[in-house]
A = this chain, B = another copy of it.
Amino acid sequence: MTMAKRDTYTPESLLAVAVEVFNERGYDGTSMEHLSKAAGISKSSIYHHVKGKEELLRLAISRALDGLFAVLDEPGAVEGRAVDRLEHVTRRTVEVLMAELPYVTLLLRVRGNTGTERWAMERRRDFDHRVAELLKEAAADGDLRADVDVRLATRLLFGMINSVVEWYRPGRGGVTSGEVAEAVLRTAFAGLRTSG
């Protein structure tokens, strides 16, 4: 609990504060006044660090997307059987989601009212499609149950993964990201894999 520095803000440290408020009130429900109060500086001071409210959103979402897309380039995501790559990506996605929780939370809640939001939704769709491809491959390999619709399974899998942002709060509850990832894998893949 090192409160540490609060001399002056960097875009990075201001971003951390802003993202917390965005997630609590929603992006549209957050005014510059709210951010100002939370950061402990005046509205106009915020404009010294960032161009405006939408830039804070863009910075936060970029961070989330960078973390997620990096998973797709890991060795475990590009080598081996599709079903094993799928498991790796699922596990690591949960871990990144929990490590970058506030940023990914914001990404998942974007509605598409501004250009930045629409860009975020598009990039997120790209990520989902990459994972859907893995599911399709695994199904073609005969490693997934034949009676499971791939499109539907992808959606339910992401539903489970993404729902973590709704309840996980670091520091309390005691579950680690690894444990949550294992639970998601057990729950999802028991119903998907052909052999236990």
Instruction: Find the B residue at minimum CB distance from A189.
Output: B191
A29 and B111 within 8 A (CB): yes
A183 to B28, CA, bound (A): 35
Asked if A160 is at the interface of the complex by the 8 Å CB criterion, the answer is yes
Centre residue among A29, A113, A153 by max chain B CB count within 10 A:
A29
Count A interface residues, CB 8 Å: 34
| Chain B residue nearest to A128 in the complex (CB) | B167
Pair B159/A111 contact, Cβ less than 8 Å: no
**A190 (CB) vs chain B CBs: closest residue:** B191
Q: In the bound complex, what is the Cα–Cα distance between A112 and B30 (angstroms)?
A: 12
A149 within 8 A of B: yes
CB distance from A29 to the nearest CB of B (A): 4
The 7 closest A-B pairs by CB, nearest first: A159-B163, A190-B191, A28-B28, A187-B191, A28-B29, A26-B111, A159-B160
